[in-house]
Amino acid sequence: MTERPLVLLDVDGVLNPARRATLRHRRHDIVLDGRTFRVLLSARQGRGLLALAEATGAELVWATTWEDHANTEIGPRLGLPPLPVIAVNGDPGSRAGEHFKTRHVAEYVAGRPFVWFDDSLGIADWEYLKDHPGVGDFLLVEVDPEDGLTDGDMTHAGDWLAARAAGVDDAGTCSPEPAP
């Protein structure tokens, strides 16, 4: 494989699940522009993402409304180094029912294969990416916002990336179905 694949990361609903703190997720109060955000984060997820990137040769990238704040407030709490950021804020919204981040992702990936972990993806996003010039192979992993990113989600992504690297025929553009 000549193109290094990407693993795109959302924060809220993915790395910051919408449930109460657990033994695995620690609560953090983050103050930005005078507002306090309560987030639940797990260093275990950070280690898992780093292992996924290393095992597959993928590059981790933020695809979140936290944008650059993800590198200063989220990444360090997960044990992640600074990552590239896809600028997604300031967009007026959907053109064809896709998530407002989808067009930014399509432009950013520039033909590189990618896995996108997000909790707000659906058929319109898959259709938009499938039909967008310059978007190659991709896997959308719709994460359950209550649970956040799971080991199963990461295994699904790792299997897809490994199959793609091995040249398996069915490793191409995926269906919009969630991970098993």
List phi, psi (to 5°) of 36. Answer: -100, 130
Could you list the residue range(s) of the whole structural domain that residue 119 is in? Answer: 6-171
pTM, two decimal places: 0.90
Asked whether residue 177 is assigned to any structural domain, the reply reads no
For the domain that residue 20 is a member of, what is the CATH number? 3.40.50
Asked whether residue 80 is assigned to any structural domain, the reply reads yes
Q: Is-contact 81 49, C-beta < 8 A?
A: no
Asked whether residue 1 is assigned to any structural domain, the reply reads no
- As a whole number of Å, the CA-based R_g of the chain is 16
The pair of three-digit structure tokens given for residue 149, joined into one six-digit string: 């990113």
* Mean pLDDT of the 42-51 span: 96
Asked whether residue 87 is assigned to any structural domain, the reply reads yes
Asked whether residue 143 is assigned to any structural domain, the reply reads yes
Give Dmax over CA atoms of the chain in angstroms. Answer: 51
Q: What digits encode the pLDDT tens for the residues 116-170?
A: 999 999 999 999 999 999 999 999 999 999 999 999 999 999 999 999 888 875 5
Domain count, the chain: 1
Confidence of residue 178 (pLDDT cuts 50, 70, 90): very low
pLDDT at 48 over 90: yes
Q: DSSP string of 50-70?
A: HHHHHHHT-EEEE-STTTTHI
CA-closest candidate to residue 119, choices 54, 58, 65 = 65
Asked whether residue 180 is assigned to any structural domain, the reply reads no
Asked whether residue 152 is assigned to any structural domain, the reply reads yes
Q: What is the average pLDDT value for the chain, to the nearest integer?
A: 89
Confidence of residue 98 (pLDDT cuts 50, 70, 90): confident
Q: What digits encode the pLDDT tens for the residues 25-43?
A: 899 999 999 999 999 999 9
Asked whether residue 30 is assigned to any structural domain, the reply reads yes
Report d(CA 64, CA 8) in Å as an integer: 9
pLDDT at 106 over 60: yes
